[in-house]
Amino acid sequence: MPGLRFRFKDLADECEAIKGYASAFLDHQYIGRLSEARGNLETIQAKVAPGRKVTWEIPKDRPLCTNWSDGEFERDGGGGHQIRAEISFAWEITPEAPAGGKPKCFVLEGLASTAVVIVERLEDGSERPLGRWTMDVGDEASPGCHFHVQVCHQDEPPFPKTLPVPRFPSMALSPFFAIDFVLGELFQDRWKTESAAGGNHADRWRVIQQSRLVRFLDWQIATLKRATGSPWMALKEAKPPLNLVVERAS
């Protein structure tokens, strides 16, 4: 069966964890969009008939926004831009038929894209986009690494939609991973310190991400060990098992 299986509860917990974990770095005007995304996921679990594909999203016209980074994307705050990230995603998910009761899992198949737009604030207060990338999960037919990043990918060059390469390998297994990634990029020093601190939200985040990433890396290592030709091509062509994300880490 194609696709990638996730537990509803894991994504809902992840959403709640990153909301608390990253709270000091997310613009609170928009943090309610995380709660709405969680609420929408819970409603999909409760109401959408198994087998029916729906889109679960933070829409691109109402993205989650980080706080402004005043040059903090360089160590010691030496960057020359005041920027923030606007994060949106759209995942096409299909609840699975349960043995009894409501579905516990869904399968991710089809559109699975998380977009990050870097916006700069200029001295006159106006804003302009500086860059964009997407962190995507492929499907059975997609070329390139199954988990990949595409840069720009808009109507005009550079890297227009008509040029879908390169697809850089990624380990973003959920839309919320992108938040952790982006904060590490925009707030090089402060997120490093903040993310290392303990606490309820940090612990929950670590438990979720650590087991997932261990499973991902184990799969990558196993793929490499089986490679008969180019190891890179083996990684590029590998398709994950359906239960990559839900199996317990060894």
Partner 1 sequence: MTPPERRPFVVHVDDDPDQLNSWRLLVARRGRIDLEVHHPNAIRMEHLERAELVLVDFALERWPERDRLDSIALKPSNGIALLSLLKEALSSDATRRRPAFALYTAVIQDVAMDLVQQPHVVAHAHNIEWIFQKTHPSLELRAEQVENLASTIMNLPHPWPADSSSEAASTLRTWLGIDGGESWHDAAWSSVRRCRPPMHEYAQHTDGLALVRWLLHRILPYPAFLIGEEHLAARLRVSLPSLKAALPTEAFAKIFEPVEFRNGLTRMSGRRWWRAGVEDAVFEIARTAPQDLDTLHRELKERLPELEPSPEADLFPVLSEQLDFEGELANGSEIVEILPDYWPPFADCAWTRKSVLANSSHLRTIAVGQQEGE
Which of the ranges 54-62, 109-117, 121-129, 242-250 carries the binding residues for partner 1, by CB under 8 A? 54-62
Contact pattern for partner 1 over residues 55 through 94, marking x by CB under 8 A: x-xxx-xx--------------------------------
Could you say which DSSP state residue 26 is in? B
Contact pattern for partner 1 over residues 89 through 118, marking x by CB under 8 A: -------------x----------------
Give Cβ neighbours of residue 63 (< 8 Å, ≥ 6 apart): 30, 33, 86, 87, 88, 115, 117
Decide: is 42 part of the binding site for partner 1 (CB under 8 A): yes
Give me the residues paired with residue 168 across strands: 149
Least distance (Å) between residue 226 CB and partner 1? 41
Would you tell me how many other CB atoms lie within 10 Å of the CB of residue 46? 11
- Tell me the C-alpha distance between 101 and 112, whole Å: 27
Decide: is 194 part of the binding site for partner 1 (CB under 8 A): no
Q: Which is nearer to partner 1, 43 or 230 (CB)?
A: 43
Least distance (Å) between residue 185 CB and partner 1? 24
Least distance (Å) between residue 170 CB and partner 1? 24
Distance, C-alpha 180 to centroid of its chain: 9
- Is 105:6 a contact under the CB 8 Å cutoff? yes
